[in-house]
Amino acid sequence: MKKYAIIAFVILFSLAGCKKETATQTTKTEMPASDSNDTSVESASAGVANNTIMEAMKSMMDRMHQMQKKGNIDYDLAMNMKEHHKGAIDMATAELNSGTDEKLKAMAGKMKEAQQKEITSLDKMISKFNGQTSNYDPSKTDNGLGKAIMDNMQEMMRLPEATGTVDKDFATMMIKHHKDGIKMGEHILQYSKSAEFKTMTMKMIADQKKEIEDLEKWLSANQ
């Protein structure tokens, strides 16, 4: 009997140890997520927004690069400018959705509105230019407009590195975008045959130079 009593005691002791270990494991599993996990989620969200801004630039360049040129100066330049404007709208949308600086978001809203209005004007001009006589060879990139377009595309591909925050990435990328757009505008003023197109372009250049100045001031104040 004494022997059986010892065996029963050992079994009970082992079962008690198992229950204690199971309870400990259950407690660990049911612990709520820590604040550090919340920070990781916020960082991931910021990363997605940063990627959205970068992808907007890359998608814009891909569309412009793949665009079939018709060989009419005004049509091809207007189509290029339209795609360039769409890139700005995508970046402004990313800032409005994920940015945190209210002043910069207000700037993004104004830029988006201005670019959308200009796209409406460009669409009307594109309808007029479509079907017009070919007046240059887009395959020749060693001189003239063909070279100007090619050089501009190569410059667009030199993107600044991401800064790690949505607001700074937007400001940095939009400055780059506008500088490339101004260069495109200079080509329009040099090669376009349309007085209407040139007038719109002169206003666009002036507006974007002012926006570059405002963005650079914001960056300087938010280093």
Contact 156/168 with Cβ under 8 angstroms? no
Q: Which domain holds residue 214?
A: 46-221
In the predicted model, what is the mean pLDDT of residues 182-198? 96
Contact by Cβ (8 Å): 42, 73: no
Instruction: Name the amino acid, one letter, at 12.
Output: L
111-122 pLDDT, tens per residue? 999 999 999 999
Mean pLDDT of the chain: 81
The 10 Å Cβ neighbour count of residue 64 is 21
Quote the crossing angle between the two packed helices 73-98 and 144-156, to the nearest 10°.
10
Q: Which residues contact 49 (CB under 8 A, 6 or more apart)?
A: 94, 97, 98, 99, 166, 169
Does residue 79 form part of some domain?
Answer: yes
Residue 30: burial class (beta carbons within 10 Å; 0-12, 13-18, 19+):
exposed
- Binning pLDDT at 50, 70 and 90, where does residue 36 land? very low
pLDDT, tens digit, 9 for 90 and up, residues 133-149: 999 999 888 889 989 98
- Separation CA 122–CA 84 (nearest Å): 12
Give the list of residues 6+ apart from residue 129 with CB closer than 8 angstroms, or none.
Answer: 72, 74, 75, 78, 194
Sign of CA pseudo-dihedral 22, 23, 26, 32: negative
**3-class secondary structure, 204:** helix
Inside any domain, residue 201: yes
pLDDT for 173 beyond 70: yes
Residue 148, domain CATH: 1.20.1260.10
Query: 179 lies in a domain?
Result: yes
Q: Is residue 12 part of a domain?
A: no
33 in a structural domain: no
Contact call for residues 64 and 78 (beta carbons, < 8 A):
no
Q: Would residue 29 count as lying in a domain?
A: no
21, part of any domain: no
Cβ–Cβ under 8 Å, residues 82 and 119: yes
**Is 90 exceeded by the pLDDT of residue 191?**
yes
Question: What's the rounded mean pLDDT across residues 165-182?
Answer: 94
The torsion of the CA quartet 94, 96, 99, 104, rounded to 10 degrees, works out to 120
Rounded to whole angstroms, the Cα distance separating 91 from 59 reads 11
Say whether pLDDT at 202 is over 60. Answer: yes
Q: Is residue 185 part of a domain?
A: yes
pTM exceeds 0.85:
no
